Amino acid sequence: MPLTNQRFLLASRPQGPATRENFDLVEDPAPEPQDGQALVAVEYLSLDPAMRGWMNEARSYVPPVGIGEVMRAGAVGRVVESRNAQLAEGEHVAGMFGMQRYALTDGRGVQRIDPALAPMPTWLGALGMPGMTAYFGLLEVGRPVEGDTVVVSGAAGAVGGLVGQIAKIKGARVIGIAGGPEKCATVVDELGFDACIDYKAGDVARGLREHCPKGIDVYFDNVGGEILEACLARLALHARVVICGAISQYNATEPPKLGNYLSLLVNRASMTGIIVFDWADRYAEGGRQMVQWLAEGRITAREDVVEGFETFPETLQMLFSGQNNGKLVLKV
């Protein structure tokens, strides 16, 4: 019986939020691997805020997804047919397999994963790209030391939740910023942050004054916009601001404004953008440490798994409305 593939192709470039109209869902037979290739049955797909940016025509750190191409997506799955000497049938793998049920690979950029070590969705979260972003972004650029005050936005999310936990391991006082009382309770009670500011309840600046009386030594920014502005206004001397993402701006049609940047001058502070791929040659090191912290119970991995490949466009929106709690993963 030939296997049937389903693929989401980018049909048009969204203006504002991406909707189902921006994609074509096509069905065709799964491709046959040629010499050197393997066929992967995708089991879980990573839904990432960055996907929205990849749909834009603009120049970025990766080329845009072309119109008519399979939507770019990270995923984990199982090799079901192989003509590649490095990939055996039955092996579990992670890679940029795209928003489809079956993917051909020549093995480049594919990582073997062990479901006995952690459940498959965790390989898209704490042991995957968000884990590496949190680990290297915080430790290499944020560089927290014992006693520092570290503030993390998107604190209940995939990257933010891990950043705060790693900062606690390094002996920092950690203040999260998240939307709503439930998420803030999770951030404090389950992830062990010292406090969490509910930005939807109102005044972030007042929360920062209360929880960061000596200012912010490290601000790990996942959201940009007004929350970034409030944090800039509260920096301590020699603070490090890590620009990881700006989800509040991804659907905007106007460029963002930055009003408080002179706080960097006054405080001799730095603001540095990061791209996780720059640490690709050190993922093995970061992965080993994250596996160890997970095994020791020092890090909690949280995934929000939604079932149904066909729901991709609507499920992606959960990231922008804040409906996800932890790393958002689509089960095929």
Closest CB to ligand NAP among residues 155, 212: 155
133 binds ligand NAP (CB under 6 A): yes
3-state secondary structure of 217: strand
Q: Does 154 bind ligand NAP (CB under 6 A)?
A: yes
Applying CB under 6 A, which part among 138-146, 155-163, 167-175, 264-272 lies near ligand NAP? 155-163
The stretch near ligand NAP (CB under 6 A) out of 30-38, 141-149, 222-230, 307-315 is: 222-230
**Rounded Cα–Cα distance for residues 189 and 61 (Å):** 36
Query: How are beta strands 149-153 and 173-178 bridged, if at all?
Result: parallel
Contact by Cβ (8 Å): 174, 164: yes
Asked if 48 and 129 count as a contact pair (C-beta separation under 8 A), the reply is yes
Interaction of residue 245 with ligand NAP, rule CB under 6 A: yes
- The vertex-44 CA angle with 286 and 60, nearest 5°, equals 65
Give the C-alpha separation, 41 to 77, whole Å: 5
Give the 3-state secondary structure of residue 43. Answer: strand
State which of residues 70, 75, 118, 156 lies at the interface with ligand NAP (CB under 6 A). 156
Q: Going by DSSP bridges, is the β-strand pair 235-243/149-153 parallel, antiparallel, or unpaired?
A: unpaired
Q: Which helix (DSSP H) or strand (DSSP E) does residue 182 occupy?
A: helix 181-189
Please select the residue that binds ligand NAP; options are 164, 179, 207, 287, rule is CB under 6 A. 179
Residue 88's CB is within 10 A of a number of other CB atoms, namely 11
Q: Which stretch binds ligand NAP (CB under 6 A): 69-77, 116-124, 126-134, 309-317?
A: 126-134
Closer residue to ligand NAP (CB): 49 or 286: 49
Residue 120 backbone phi and psi in degrees, to 5 = -50, -45
Name the DSSP letter for residue 25. Answer: E
- Give whichever of 79 and 232 is closer to ligand NAP, judged by the CB atom: 232
Q: Which is nearer to ligand NAP, 87 or 158 (CB)?
A: 158
For ligand NAP, the closer of residues 70 and 138 by Cβ is 138
In this chain, which of 118, 247, 290, 306 binds ligand NAP, going by CB under 6 A? 247
The encoded tokens of residue 229 equal: 């502005």
The stretch among 34-42, 84-92, 157-165, 206-214 that binds ligand NAP (CB under 6 A) is 157-165
User: Taking contact as CB under 6 A, which single stretch among the options 19-27, 129-137, 139-147, 287-295 is the one that binds ligand NAP?
Assistant: 129-137
Question: Are the C-beta atoms of residues 172 and 150 closer than 8 Å to each other?
Answer: yes
Q: Which residues bind ligand NAP (CB under 6 A)?
A: 48-50, 129-130, 133, 154, 156-160, 178-179, 183, 222-223, 227, 244-248, 274-276, 319-320, 322, 324, 327-328
